[in-house]
Amino acid sequence: MNVLLKDATIIDPSSSFHQKTVDILIEDGTISKIGSNISKEDHIDEITLPNLHVSRGWFDSSVCFGEPGYEERETIANGLEVAAKSGFTSIALNPNTLPITDTSASVGFLDSKAKNHAVRLYPIGSLTTKSEGKDLAELYDMQQAGAIAFGDYKKAIQNPNLLKIALLYAQNFDGLVLSFPQDNSIAGKGMVNEEEQSTLLGLKGIPSLAEELQISRDLFLLEYTGGKLHIPTISTAKSVTLIKEAKAKGLQVSCSTTVHHLTLTDQELQTFETSYKVQPPLRTQKDIDALKQGIKEGTIDMVTSDHQPMDIENKNVEFDNAKYGTIGLESAFVALNYHFDLDQIISLLTKGKDIFKLENQPLEEGSIADLSLFNPEGETTFETDHILSTSANSAFAGKPVKGNVYGVLANKQLVLK
Using one digit for the tens of pLDDT, what is the confidence trace for 66-115? 999 999 999 999 999 999 999 999 999 999 999 999 999 999 999 999 99
0.85 surpassed by pTM: yes
- Among residues 122, 25, 123, the alpha carbon closest in space to that of 409 is found at 25
Question: What whole-number distance in Å separates Cα of residue 370 and Cα of residue 57?
Answer: 5
- Same domain, yes or no, for 250 and 291? yes
The residue segments making up the domain with residue 372 are: 2-53+365-384+398-416
270 within domain boundaries? yes
47 within domain boundaries? yes
- Same domain, yes or no, for 226 and 300? yes
278 within domain boundaries? yes
- Same domain, yes or no, for 24 and 69? no
Angle (CA) 25-329-269 rounded to 5° is 155
Question: What whole-number distance in Å separates Cα of residue 327 and Cα of residue 305?
Answer: 7
Question: What whole-number distance in Å separates Cα of residue 363 and Cα of residue 25?
Answer: 12
CATH of the domain at 334: 3.20.20.140
How many domains does the chain divide into? Answer: 2
pLDDT in single tens digits along all 417 residues of the chain: 899 999 999 999 989 999 999 999 999 999 999 999 998 888 899 999 999 999 999 999 999 999 999 999 999 999 999 999 999 999 999 999 999 999 999 999 999 999 999 999 999 999 999 999 999 999 999 999 999 999 999 999 999 999 999 999 999 999 999 999 999 999 999 999 999 999 999 999 999 999 999 999 999 999 999 999 999 999 999 999 999 999 999 999 999 999 999 999 999 999 999 999 999 999 999 999 999 999 999 999 999 999 999 999 999 999 999 999 999 999 999 999 999 999 999 999 999 999 999 999 899 999 999 999 999 999 999 999 999 999 999 999 999 999 999 999 999 999 999
360 within domain boundaries? no
- Same domain, yes or no, for 183 and 314? yes
- Same domain, yes or no, for 39 and 74? no
The dihedral through the CA atoms of 77, 401, 333, 48 has a sign that is positive
- Same domain, yes or no, for 30 and 174? no
Question: Which residues, 6+ apart, have CB-to-CB distance to 307 below 8 Å?
Answer: 60, 62, 63, 64, 327, 328, 329, 389
280 within domain boundaries? yes
- Same domain, yes or no, for 71 and 200? yes
CATH of the domain at 29: 2.30.40.10
Task: Return the SS3 of 402.
Answer: strand
Task: Return the SS3 of 116.
Answer: coil
Using omega within 30 degrees of 0 as the cis cutoff, is the peptide bond preceding 181 cis? no
The dihedral through the CA atoms of 298, 301, 303, 306 has a sign that is negative
391 within domain boundaries? no
Question: Which residues, 6+ apart, have CB-to-CB distance to 9 below 8 Å?
Answer: 19, 20, 21, 51, 52, 53, 54
Q: Are 60 and 329 in contact (CB under 8 A)?
A: yes
- Same domain, yes or no, for 148 and 29? no
Catalytic one of 42, 306, 311, 370: 306
331 within domain boundaries? yes
Would residue 266 show up in a list of annotated catalytic residues for this protein?
no
